[in-house]
């Protein structure tokens, strides 16, 4: 049986083999990505399954479990395929870290922006666009990018959220906001019919389509993330509590230190689950009202 270390060694070998092929075909992985060879088929582009079949036992069977696997892969997508389940922080040749499965409270932001496709895209961009770059986007998107930050600030200062953070033990408390963000998306998923007439799956599908339509406007990091977000249905992943624990574990691996404190926050969440869920029922209607009012204020300012 292959040990964890043996698996990682073989995976890294597969990755290096692929990058060597990319360099040969396109002049380097960065140039390949720049030229748009992330999803275009050419006879000379290597097939990741062909590369890995000789290196990783049962790779073909594992790959078949994925829905609609694409035959051609960029180096970023290869990294995701090989390392998304390993506790590894990998960097591209340019030195920028690949954020493989970093998903937070996106569902709540999308719900609050559900009135238009552009608004939902802007709500997502709030975590990816720097403040001094907001004006580079169309008004409808820029307004939602700004609103995203207001929503985050309002959430962090809400009395119910502050009280919920106090339920976490000292040391873990500094990471309680991350755990709550993720758990709140789970609660929203569970209570969806209470807040929205459109089925959750339908709104999520519409959001994914809106992201794809606006892809030319997306920052590079979000474009890189987009295929995984849609294929793995990140926004649908919070329907079950296991999705909360899994996401917290993934996020903890991207912390430079004290990741164990974030993971241990799940224990505090479980111990106080009913209290926190009750608080969400008080907090979320307030957030809905705040977001609606602040959006109107921003629209008036724009005009």
Ordered per-residue pLDDT tens for the chain, 303 residues: 555 555 545 554 554 444 444 444 434 433 433 333 333 333 343 444 454 444 444 444 444 444 443 333 333 334 333 433 333 333 233 333 333 334 468 999 999 999 999 999 999 999 899 989 999 999 999 999 999 999 999 999 999 999 999 999 999 999 999 999 999 999 999 999 999 999 999 999 999 999 999 999 999 989 998 998 899 898 998 888 988 998 898 889 888 888 999 999 999 999 999 999 999 999 999 999 999 999 999 998 876
Q: Is residue 131 part of a domain?
A: yes
Kindly state whether residues 206 and 261 are assigned to the same domain. Answer: yes
Q: Is residue 69 part of a domain?
A: yes
Kindly state whether residues 158 and 70 are assigned to the same domain. Answer: no
Kindly state whether residues 28 and 167 are assigned to the same domain. Answer: no
Q: Per residue in 87-96, is it b (16+ CB within 10 Å) or e — as a string?
A: eeeeebeeee
Of 252, 210, 244, the C-alpha closest to 230 is 210
Q: Is residue 59 part of a domain?
A: yes
DSSP state of 46: P
Q: State residue 301's pLDDT score.
A: 83
Kindly state whether residues 118 and 220 are assigned to the same domain. Answer: yes
Domain end among 52, 83, 114? 83
Q: Is residue 96 part of a domain?
A: no
Q: Is residue 92 part of a domain?
A: no
Q: Is residue 94 part of a domain?
A: no
Number of domains making up the chain: 2
Kindly state whether residues 76 and 114 are assigned to the same domain. Answer: no
Q: State residue 20's pLDDT score.
A: 46
Kindly state whether residues 142 and 277 are assigned to the same domain. Answer: yes
pTM over 0.85: no
Q: State residue 69's pLDDT score.
A: 38
Q: Is residue 151 part of a domain?
A: yes
23's enclosing H/E stretch is helix 4-26
Kindly state whether residues 71 and 157 are assigned to the same domain. Answer: no
Q: State residue 189's pLDDT score.
A: 96
Q: CB 221: neighbour CB atoms within 10 A?
A: 15
Hey, which residues does 156 pair with through a beta bridge?
none
Q: Which domain holds residue 29?
A: 4-83
Domain end among 68, 83, 98? 83
DSSP state of 91: B
Kindly state whether residues 142 and 262 are assigned to the same domain. Answer: yes
Angle at 198 between CA 195 and CA 199, to 5 degrees: 95
Q: State residue 237's pLDDT score.
A: 86
CA atoms within 13 A on the CB side of 283: 26
Kindly state whether residues 186 and 225 are assigned to the same domain. Answer: yes
Kindly state whether residues 49 and 122 are assigned to the same domain. Answer: no
Hey, which residues does 91 pair with through a beta bridge?
97
Kindly state whether residues 76 and 182 are assigned to the same domain. Answer: no
Domain end among 24, 49, 83? 83
Kindly state whether residues 124 and 47 are assigned to the same domain. Answer: no
Tell me which long-range contacts 255-263 makes (C-beta under 8 A, separation of at least 24).
258/175, 261/171, 261/172, 261/174, 261/175, 262/172, 262/175, 262/178, 262/179
Q: Is residue 36 part of a domain?
A: yes
Six-digit token string for 293: 């009012």
The CA distance from 144 to 132, in Å, is 15
């Amino acid at each position: 049986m292959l040990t964890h270390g043996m698996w990682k060694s073989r995976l890294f070998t597969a990755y290096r083999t692929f990058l060597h092929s990319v360099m040969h075909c396109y002049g380097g992985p960065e140039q390949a990505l720049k030229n748009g060879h992330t999803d275009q088929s050419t006879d000379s582009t290597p097939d990741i399954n062909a590369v890995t079949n000789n290196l990783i036992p049962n790779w073909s069977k594992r790959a078949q479990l994925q829905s609609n696997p694409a035959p051609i892969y960029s180096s970023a997508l290869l990294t995701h395929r090989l390392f998304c389940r390993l506790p590894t922080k990998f960097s591209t040749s340019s030195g920028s870290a690949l954020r493989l499965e970093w998903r937070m409270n996106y569902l709540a932001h999308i719900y609050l922006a559900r009135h238009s496709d552009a608004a939902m895209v802007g709500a997502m961009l709030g975590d990816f666009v720097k403040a001094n770059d907001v004006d580079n986007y169309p008004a409808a998107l820029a307004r939602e990018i700004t609103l995203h930050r207001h929503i985050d600030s309002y959430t962090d200062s809400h009395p119910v959220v502050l009280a919920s953070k106090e339920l976490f033990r000292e040391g873990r408390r500094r990471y309680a906001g991350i755990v709550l963000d993720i758990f709140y998306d789970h609660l929203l998923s569970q209570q969806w019919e209470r807040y929205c007439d459109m089925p959750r799956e339908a709104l999520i599908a519409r959001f994914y389509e809106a992201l794809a339509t606006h892809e030319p406007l997306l920052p590079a990091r979000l474009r890189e993330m987009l295929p995984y977000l849609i294929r793995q249905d990140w926004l649908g992943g919070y329907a079950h509590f296991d999705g909360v624990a899994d996401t917290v574990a993934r996020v903890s691996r991207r912390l430079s230190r004290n990741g164990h404190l974030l993971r241990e926050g799940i224990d505090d969440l479980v111990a106080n689950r009913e209290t926190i869920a009750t608080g969400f029922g008080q907090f979320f209607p307030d957030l809905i009202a705040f977001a609606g009012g602040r959006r109107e204020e921003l629209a008036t300012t724009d005009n």
